[in-house]
Structure 1
Amino acid sequence: MRVSVYYATDKDRAFEEALQEALRIDPYEPFYYYLQANMLNKKGRPSQAKTALSHALELRPESPLYLAVEYKLKETYIRNAVRLDPEDKQYQDEFLEALQHRNVI
């Protein structure tokens, strides 16, 4: 699976091309969307990563791996929201809930 090789080497352009080809050949393979979500999140594009991950979860909703990544994306989103508006009580509560869920506090 060429797309996994390019993902592991951080060759973004080659990864994106291999990913598009893989999705064209097999658009029902959730692992490709998972890889796409991880790459988008690493690039600081969490909303696009969430969309890609949603596709993976639609195809395999019971996957613990995809559910864990979904949780991480939510945590990243909440963390950024708290940074942007530290006075917003809703963001603070969601952030604390996320930390408690991970047994951090």
Structure 2
Amino acid sequence: MADPARNTLPLPDYDHLPIGGLESRVRSLSADEVEELLAYERSHADRVPVTELLANRLEQLRAGAQPTSGDPGAIRPEQSEGHAGSPVSPATSPEPFSPPPHGTPDQFGKPKGDRT
């Protein structure tokens, strides 16, 4: 069931922002908008690092700080690259190695020589 309050937040993708991206994006919000996010956070996930970040920003705004444009290059979920497979290629993979001296289930170990 979707939470209707989520659709009215100043940052529409708020629930999916990593804390680094959130820190940059809240800089563009007014004190009222930061208060709204803080109330939403406290009534939902109540993540300590996020509530501290929002409370600190609200304090800065009340002390006279002005909203800025934020960091347009901030990490955003919609910009993240999905997992497209392993970055390993033949050029970066390790050299093949010999099986251990005791052997493997499909390859028996080699005798140490003639032990009489």
Normalising by the smaller structure, the TM-score range is 0.3 to 0.5
| TM-score, L = length of structure 2 | 0.32
Structure number with greater CO (CA < 8 Å, separation at least 6) is: 2
Q: Could you say which structure has the larger radius of gyration?
A: 2
